[in-house]
C-alpha cells in the first residue's frame, strides 16, 4: 500500500528542523608545520569540509561457481577541507612547510625529526553545531592526519573574491563517540 502524502508526518520526523550544513566548526591540532606559517586561525578560516564516505570493501569468495560477497577491509578515504587564504598566507605556508618536511622537493628526504607517526601527524575535529547554540550534535575526530595535497590557487584579474584552496588529508581512522565509531 502506497503511503499518502502528509507534510505533517514528514516534518515530525525532521528533528529540530534538520541539521544545517553551514553550522560546523573544524579544529586542527598538532605542532608539525615548523616555523613557516601558523594554524592559529584555522577554526575561522576553514570554510568547508567534505566528509569522506564510510565504505567497507567487498571481498568475494567463490564456492562451486557462486560468488559470495562478504565484508572486507575498511576502504581508505580522504578528508578534504576548503580554506580561506589570508594575505600572509599563514595556513598555506604552514601546510606547505609541513609537506616539505614530509618529503622535500629538493632532497626527496623526510625531516629527521619525524621519527614516529605522531611526530608528523595531527588531529582534525569536525563538529556539527546545533542551531540553538547549545553546542555540538555530532563530532568526528580524524586521527593521524597529514596533508597529501595543497591545491592550486587561481589568480585572475576578472575576480574580486577572497582566495580559497583545498587541502586533502590522509588519516589512519576516524572516531565518533556519538555513534560509537572508532572508539
**Looking at residue 78, which CATH number applies to its domain?**
2.30.110
Please name the residues in contact with 152: beta carbons below 8 A apart, sequence gap of 6 or more. 165
Grid coordinates in use for 30?
Answer: 598538532
Q: In the structure, what pLDDT confidence band is assigned to residue 183 with cuts at 50, 70 and 90?
A: low
Reported as type and span, the H/E element at residue 129 is strand 122-129
Q: Is 108 helix (H, G, I), strand (E, B) or coil?
A: coil
For residue 8, tell me if it sits in a domain. no
pLDDT exceeds cutoff 60 at 2:
no
For residue 29, tell me if it sits in a domain. yes
For residue 75, tell me if it sits in a domain. yes
Q: Check the CA dihedral 104-105-107-108 and report its sign.
A: positive
Q: pLDDT of 31-64, one tens digit each?
A: 776 667 788 889 999 999 988 888 999 999 999 9
Domain count, the chain: 1
Mean pLDDT of 76-86: 94
For residue 72, tell me if it sits in a domain. yes
pLDDT exceeds cutoff 80 at 29:
yes
Mean pLDDT of the chain: 90
For residue 4, tell me if it sits in a domain. no
Range of the domain at 55: 20-175
For residue 164, tell me if it sits in a domain. yes
* Among candidate residues 117, 87, 83, the one with its CA nearest the CA of residue 102: 117
Grid coordinates in use for 33?
Answer: 608545520
For residue 76, tell me if it sits in a domain. yes
For residue 155, tell me if it sits in a domain. yes
Residue 28 and residue 45 in contact, taking contact as beta carbons nearer than 8 Å: no
Please give the pLDDT value at position 35: 65
Q: pLDDT of 145-154, one tens digit each?
A: 999 999 999 9
Vertex 44: Cα angle to 19 and 87 (nearest 5): 140
pLDDT exceeds cutoff 70 at 84:
yes
Amino acid at each position: 500500500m502506497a503511503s499518502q502524502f502528509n507534510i505533517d508526518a514528514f516534518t515530525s520526523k525532521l528533528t529540530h528542523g534538520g541539521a544545517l550544513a553551514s553550522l560546523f566548526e573544524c579544529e586542527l591540532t598538532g605542532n608539525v608545520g615548523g616555523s613557516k606559517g601558523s594554524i592559529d586561525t584555522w577554526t575561522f578560516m576553514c570554510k568547508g569540509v567534505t566528509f569522506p564516505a564510510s565504505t567497507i570493501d567487498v571481498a568475494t569468495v567463490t564456492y562451486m561457481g557462486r560468488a559470495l560477497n562478504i565484508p572486507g577491509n575498511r576502504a581508505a578515504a580522504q578528508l578534504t577541507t576548503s580554506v580561506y587564504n589570508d594575505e600572509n598566507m599563514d595556513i598555506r605556508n604552514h601546510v606547505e612547510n609541513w609537506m616539505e618536511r614530509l618529503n622535500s622537493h629538493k632532497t626527496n628526504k623526510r625531516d629527521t625529526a619525524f621519527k614516529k607517526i605522531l611526530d608528523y601527524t595531527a588531529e582534525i575535529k569536525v563538529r556539527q553545531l546545533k542551531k540553538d547554540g547549545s553546542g555540538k550534535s555530532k563530532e568526528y575526530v580524524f586521527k593521524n592526519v597529514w596533508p597529501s595535497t595543497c591545491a592550486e590557487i587561481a589568480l585572475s584579474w576578472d575576480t574580486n573574491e577572497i582566495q580559497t584552496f583545498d587541502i586533502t588529508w590522509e588519516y589512519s581512522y576516524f572516531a565518533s563517540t556519538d555513534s560509537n565509531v572508532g572508539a
